[in-house]
Amino acid sequence: MTARPLRELLRVPVGERPDLGRIDPAATPGGPADKTAGRAATAAMARPLASLQERLYAASTAGDRRRLLLVLQGMDTSGKGGTVKHVIGLFNPSGCRIQSFKAPTPEEREHPFLWRIEKALPQPGEIGIFDRSHYEDVLIARVRELAPRSRIDGRYAQINRFEESLAEDGVSVVKVFLHIGYEEQRARLLARLDNPDKHWKFSTADIDERALWPAYQEAYELALERCSSDAAPWFVVPADRKWYRNWAVSRLLLEHLEEIGPRYPPGDFDVGECRARLLAT
Amino acid sequence: MTARPLRELLRVPVGERPDLGRIDPAATPGGPADKTAGRAATAAMARPLASLQERLYAASTAGDRRRLLLVLQGMDTSGKGGTVKHVIGLFNPSGCRIQSFKAPTPEEREHPFLWRIEKALPQPGEIGIFDRSHYEDVLIARVRELAPRSRIDGRYAQINRFEESLAEDGVSVVKVFLHIGYEEQRARLLARLDNPDKHWKFSTADIDERALWPAYQEAYELALERCSSDAAPWFVVPADRKWYRNWAVSRLLLEHLEEIGPRYPPGDFDVGECRARLLAT
């Protein structure tokens, strides 16, 4: 394990275009030596994560507006759902606000693309999790030409302004691209086909999307290049190895929560007087 | 442990008024022998609970509208928050919709009391959790006389109709009253006072509410009597022992999910054909 913060190691530098074809999706940068060590290290983060979360929530009861928003993006089968289950599962569920974004509803299509996003933001003290996000509007929208190219091109700047305003309002935005390989996706889709209990997760549309792999990789590279900002950086997490993915996302959350450094607020009452009153009951 | 389902043991019979003063809040009806066994038994339910939850969610993707709603009520410090943390923490957070109800906002007060409740209901396939609920409108509202008595008296029937309509729409409503003792509440409030990290959970208003203990117990007895229906029964869970409380609520959820008996839906595609298409990519 490296002493360098993981967020520095995985961060997409501002203005730089990552070459996803050159980032090994099975790599484990900065991570534990193997699966056993990785799982243990992730489990060991459960307590500090839950403790920081409780402080974050407690601070909000005294007016602290800070909160965290984890944005999860990645190709089909990249493990967005698994990350929520295994990483967000380490937290107290009552402080988590999870939103999964599907294809926009007719009502959502009537509004600007950030409308449904704004409605799902975490409140002060909460940890918000987006399983897909406003980035779909520059990913599938670009690849599938769901809007004129000029409109899509305008969205990157809109996203940057939006995320900057979030940061100014106390939201630590942690954007994670779960990077899996083309071969690994095939294996995972085949595994779904081979297990009837997983058929509900499979759709023939998944194969159609897979055929557009190069276009998606390009759209991701563009989004990572244009929208990795100081206010809201992107992190590329190699995700072929699930144990590394879970460890890395946990670690990124831990580093960000430690940076926030929330503190329990003091009480606004006289402890001795309250004690006496209680003991008299 | 008894072979009789816990739901039968803890259920408030329809039309019967429970005498809370005669139900020992430190009892462990139907439960494991002690704390160690209780914790182990709760942990052992994590896998079946998560598995049933996944099936419930999977079934909803094929049109099954069934879902579960856990309603948690109880005096201050009775462990509503702790139950969410320890019991709901056993589930996949992405399928849980947790709503904590505080004093109604001005906007909420403009609407009928069930308005904010309906907005927070679990969607098909989800597990909804209410930390406090529409019952506050016949509990604190009754004790604190927040509305004319005649209007409050009309709410029990409104609640019963509402919950019946939920049941008809596929919602399994599990209403749990966390029953703690007067002495135990004092001890828990004192513990909060004695730990500065817990001061944010404490308010002098808690002592004022405690002074109304008998009125609250009466309001609870009335609500349990009038609103324990076949469609949506009330369960009284003795809650002085946290390990029993967690075990009992987990067990109640397990029994209800087993009764629902959700199944993975079959796929609507040709597995062989999809396999061939995938292997060609």
> pLDDT for A36-64, tens place per residue?
999 999 999 999 999 999 999 999 999 99
Task: Find the closest chain B residue to A131 by CA distance.
Answer: B94
Amino acid, res. A223: A
Residues near B113 by beta carbon (within 8 Å), at least 6 away in sequence:
B104, B134, B137, B155
Residues near A119 by beta carbon (within 8 Å), at least 6 away in sequence:
none
Residue A275 sits at the chain B interface (C-beta within 8 Å):
yes
Residue A100 sits at the chain B interface (C-beta within 8 Å):
yes
DSSP type of residue B5: -
Q: What is the pLDDT of residue B136?
A: 98
Q: Which of B:209-228 have CB within 8 Å of A?
A: 210-211
CA angle B116, B117, B119 (to 5 degrees): 65
In this model, does residue A2 exceed pLDDT 80? no
Q: What is the pLDDT of residue A195?
A: 97
Give the closest-approach CA distance of B223 to chain A in angstroms: 26
**Six token digits for residue A258:** 């430690």
Q: Which residues of chain B carry a pLDDT beneath 50?
A: 1
- Reduce the DSSP state of residue A29 to 3 states and report it: coil
Task: Find the closest chain A residue to B195 by CA distance.
Answer: A271
Contact A203 B84 (CB under 8 A): no
In this model, does residue A149 exceed pLDDT 70? yes
Give the closest-approach CA distance of A49 to chain B in angstroms: 14
Residue A274 sits at the chain B interface (C-beta within 8 Å):
yes
Length of chain B: 281
At A94-147, the pLDDT tens digits run 999 999 999 999 999 999 999 999 999 999 999 999 999 999 999 999 999 999
Amino acid, res. A276: A
Closest residue by Cα to residue B171 from B118, B225, B224: B118
Give the closest-approach CA distance of A267 to chain B in angstroms: 5
Provide the CB-side half-sphere exposure for B273 (13 A, CA).
Answer: 6
- Reduce the DSSP state of residue A74 to 3 states and report it: strand
Residue B193 sits at the chain A interface (C-beta within 8 Å):
yes
Backbone angles phi, psi at B193, to 5 degrees: -65, -35
Contact A264 B199 (CB under 8 A): yes
- Write down the mean pLDDT value for chain A: 97
At A71-109, the pLDDT tens digits run 999 999 999 999 999 999 999 999 999 999 999 999 999
DSSP type of residue A231: S
Quote ipTM for the complex: 0.93
Other Cβ atoms closer than 10 A to A29: 16
Residues of chain A with Cβ-Cβ distance to B61 below 8 Å are: 200
Q: What is the pLDDT of residue B148?
A: 96
Position A224 confidence tier, pLDDT thresholds 50, 70, 90: very high
Residue A278 sits at the chain B interface (C-beta within 8 Å):
yes
Q: What is the pLDDT of residue A42?
A: 98
- Is residue B62 within 8 A of residue A200, CB to CB? The reply is yes
At A204-217, the pLDDT tens digits run 999 999 999 999 99
In this model, does residue A1 exceed pLDDT 60? no
Nearest-CB residue to A199 (from B211, B266, B278)? B266
Give the closest-approach CA distance of A14 to chain B in angstroms: 32
Q: What is the pLDDT of residue A196?
A: 96
Residues near A237 by beta carbon (within 8 Å), at least 6 away in sequence:
A10, A176, A177, A178, A179, A244, A245, A248, A249, A252
